[in-house]
Amino acid sequence: MEHPLFRQLALSPLRSVADRHPGTDAATLDEIDEEHLKLIAQEVLTWAKKQGVTHYTFWIQPQTNETIEKHDAFFELEHLFHSGLNFKQVENFTGRVLQKGEGDGSSIPNGGLRGTEKARAYIAWDCKADIFIREGINKTLYLPAMLLTHDGEALDEKSYLRRAESKLKQSTAKILSVLGESEVKCVNYCLGIEQEFFVVRKEDYEKRLDLNQCGRSLYGQLPPRNQQFSDHYYGKLNDKMFEVLSECENELLRLGVPVKTKHKEVAVNQFEMSAYYEDAVTSVDHNMLVMDVLKSTFDRHGYTVLLHEKPFKSANGSGKHCNWSLQYSR
């Protein structure tokens, strides 16, 4: 049976459109004309329907350390005025939907930099990011996107990342040119994120108001013996932790996020799970999924995941180490 990861990579609708219609593979939304957008939307819809998908959502990373999403059905009911109260089902997933979505956005925090009269936000699909499917009662197609005001002000984190990516590539190409590499065709920057976290039992977590409200401890003391003579780092995973971490790994694979490593970290009840080293924007998307899957999976097993960088005083913190490099091709 074909692995879901291979299915996602091999049947990517954007890749199939790019193969048949040159010019769409590395384009931005501004560079894709209406005809190609229509083709892309049709390919995405056809591919998603084959997977049993009923809804789609633009997946956004606002400035709240979380992700937001608004689920819409692929079909809507159109009222037929000439036939009384009858309706017909029509597809509402078009190239126009991909190019620019519109939402109120008035409740998205951005540091108080936006006036009330500029509350409306626009969704721009990130056409260079991987799309994926999540399963619940229904299957939903996730489209990574950016959130912008009408004058281009960013309301999310991905917009800044994409802009930084563009500037970094331009600056790198200039430096390489000065160093004698005048025939540079492409510059990419890659990132590998190490996600560390603590695990506590849910009943203990709910007793501690500080953990519940702040994600970290504000009072209390470490036991007399905690990490002394401890072999927790790289130690053997007990059966329960191995089961839950393996379940996380399998769920991430279904979402197209291959996991490179999982192991115990230095502090007691501290662990690490890291996805593969890949291009920076994809790596950030995948890390958001890693955190989300960790929290939801451990919650089902009666545990709470603490992602705070320093949840316990005098104990090792949870780093999100970023290993990155620049690559170029002639």
pLDDT, position 16: 41
CA nearest to 93, candidates 156, 135, 132, 49:
49
pLDDT, position 52: 87
pLDDT, position 242: 95
Residues of the chain with pLDDT under 70: 1-32, 65, 74-97, 99-120, 226-230
CA distances from 123 to 26, 42, 143 (A): 20, 19, 11
For the question of whether the overall pTM of this predicted structure is more than 0.85, the answer is no
What's the pLDDT tens digit per position in 298-328?
999 999 999 999 999 888 899 899 998 888 8
pLDDT, position 12: 43
pLDDT, position 39: 83
Q: If you ran DSSP here, which 8-state letter would residue 29 be given?
A: G
Tokens of 307: 């992602």
pLDDT, position 301: 96
The beta-carbon contacts of 272-278 under 8 Å, at least 24 apart in sequence, are 272/194, 272/195, 272/196, 272/197, 273/195, 273/197, 273/245, 273/248, 273/249, 274/192, 274/193, 274/194, 274/195, 275/192, 275/193, 275/195, 276/192, 277/190, 277/191, 277/192, 277/323, 278/190, 278/191, 278/192
Q: Which CATH architecture has domain 188-329?
A: 2-Layer Sandwich (3.30)
Angle (CA) 297 308 191, round 5°: 80
CA 248 – CA 286 distance, rounded (Å): 13
CA nearest to 284, candidates 320, 326, 244, 255:
320
Q: Which residues contact 214 (CB under 8 A, 6 or more apart)?
A: 308
What's the pLDDT tens digit per position in 99-120?
666 655 555 555 555 555 555 6
Domain at 4-156, CATH class:
alpha beta
Domain ranges of the chain: 4-156, 188-329
